[in-house]
Amino acid sequence: MTPQTLLAHTDNGQPWPEAPGDAPGFDVPAAYQQALQVRALRIARGERPRGYKIGFTNRQIWPRYNVFAPIWGTVWHTTLTFCEGEGSLSLDATCQPRLEPEAVFGMQATPAPEASLDDLFEALDWVAPGFEVVQSHLPGWKFTAPDTVADGSLHARLLVGRRRPVREIATNARELDALLAGARVALQKDAAVVESGCGANVLDSPLRALHHFLCELRQCPGAPDLLPGDVITTGTWTDAWPVAPGEQWTAAFSTPLSDLRVRFD
């Protein structure tokens, strides 16, 4: 499929007629180049990149989806919402939406070349709880890794909760790494807990997931670097759960993250 066709399906929420990964030679590097072409089309029509999403950082769910390495894609001003603990999101024009509780970072600077965890800590501004709505334009969430990259890395929406300055909760990278790795979340639909998870599920910690992503981003030809003000969501602490309009979900995070609640329209 062409970048124009991919963007049309992102806009209308309709399933794809075929899988991009079925085309001969369409591998993950080719999918990223196509995703960058879609990104250029979105910028040309007035959308503003606001950062990135990292997907498939939770190794526990790799066998369920037949994807065995992290992926990344763009977050847009049209897909990003901030709140102070409770917000609402529209599921209009999403395709088979699912919900993921995550840790989200905000950048205050571009990380140094070949950044270490300590360098990355120095470039951070804040950390927050987040809900990412992910989607798949292939039936039944059956896809290959190149398909997921071509599908905007499955990104549909991002709700970011209360932001805390990282230096308010940690004095260095090692402290932040340990705090987020040890944090837990209980994902609730209405009042019922559907699954629990922890920060260590995402490549051992959200900070390490961010570091892995930065290295991958900088190895991708044509990909823009991280910039001050960018928002990066680092991957789900649980499985991704189907959602529908009218539902209310809560992520009850332990310290240093706060609880986050979302209502779907």
Tokens representing 39 are 């990104």
Q: What is the pLDDT of residues 215-232, one digit of tens each?
A: 999 999 999 999 999 999
pLDDT of residue 159: 98
In this prediction, what percent of the chain has a pLDDT beyond 90?
Answer: 99
pLDDT of residue 238: 98
As a whole number of angstroms, the distance between CA 33 and CA 192 comes to 42
Picking from 28, 242, 248, the residue whose alpha carbon sits closest to that of residue 135 is 242
Burial class (CB in 10 A: 0-12, 13-18, 19+), 40: exposed
- pTM, two decimals, is 0.97
Phi, psi of 102 (to 5 degrees): -145, 165
- Side-chain-facing half-sphere of 183: CA atoms under 13 Å: 31
| Number of CB atoms found within 10 A of residue 53's CB | 28
CA 63, 182, 226, 160 torsion-angle sign: positive
Instruction: Give Cα 8 distance to the centre of its chain.
Output: 21
Answer whether residue 255 shows pLDDT above 90: yes
CA 38, 11, 28, 180 torsion-angle sign: positive
Mean pLDDT within 22-27: 95
Residue 59 · residue 69 · CB < 8 Å: no
Phi, psi of 186 (to 5 degrees): -115, 115
For 3-264, the fitting CATH number among 1.10.3720.10, 3.30.300.30, 3.90.850.10, 2.60.40.10 is 3.90.850.10
SS3 call for 164: strand
pLDDT of residue 191: 86
**Domain boundaries along the sequence of the chain:** 3-264
Tokens representing 155 are 């990104």
As a whole number of angstroms, the distance between CA 48 and CA 229 comes to 12
Q: What is the pLDDT of residues 149-195, one digit of tens each?
A: 999 999 999 999 999 999 999 999 999 999 999 999 999 999 899 99
Peptide linkage before 139 cis (omega within 30 of 0): no
Q: What is the pLDDT of residues 40-94, one digit of tens each?
A: 999 999 999 999 999 999 999 999 999 999 999 999 999 999 999 999 999 999 9
Write down how long the chain is.
265
Answer whether residue 126 shows pLDDT above 90: yes
CA 63, 66, 69, 72 torsion-angle sign: negative
Mean pLDDT over the full length of the chain: 98
